[in-house]
Amino acid sequence: MRLETEEVAPGVSKINLTGRLDIGGTQEIELHFNALAGSQRAIIVDLSQVDFIASLGLRLLIVGARTVQRKGGRMILFRPPIAVEAVLVSSGTDNVVGILRDLDEAIHAVSG
């Protein structure tokens, strides 16, 4: 599992994840991910290169989004592949963490 960050707009971080958010993959990135959630106020999590997710990965995303929200910020999910989006929907994660597919829209959503 790989985690990279880029600043896609002033104050807006995009976290690019690559690989599987399975148990092993989630363990590999969770410290780094949680640190970013704890220090940033506007986060776009790019899931376009994530080909698997299960409940540990969902937990990472939900806890991260909550951490950002508590600071008055916002985290959204960006371009999950269909199979990953199906898990986000089945688990109701999409009810509480927004999913967007357009980068400008995503930047606008987290910048508010």
Interface ranges with other proteins (CB under 8 A): 20, 22-25, 27, 52, 54-56, 58-59, 62-63, 65-66, 69, 83, 87, 90-93, 95-97
Question: What six digits make up the tokens of 8?
Answer: 């896609």
Nearest-approach distance from CB 44 to other proteins, in angstroms: 16
Question: What six digits make up the tokens of 34?
Answer: 């949680």
Q: Which residue has the tokens 């590999």?
A: 28
Nearer to other proteins, 56 or 100 (CB): 56
Kind and range of the H or E run holding 55: helix 55-70
Q: Which letter does DSSP use for residue 54 in this model?
A: -
Nearer to other proteins, 43 or 58 (CB): 58
Q: How far apart are CA 50 and CA 3, in angstroms?
A: 11
Nearest-approach distance from CB 71 to other proteins, in angstroms: 13
Nearest-approach distance from CB 27 to other proteins, in angstroms: 6
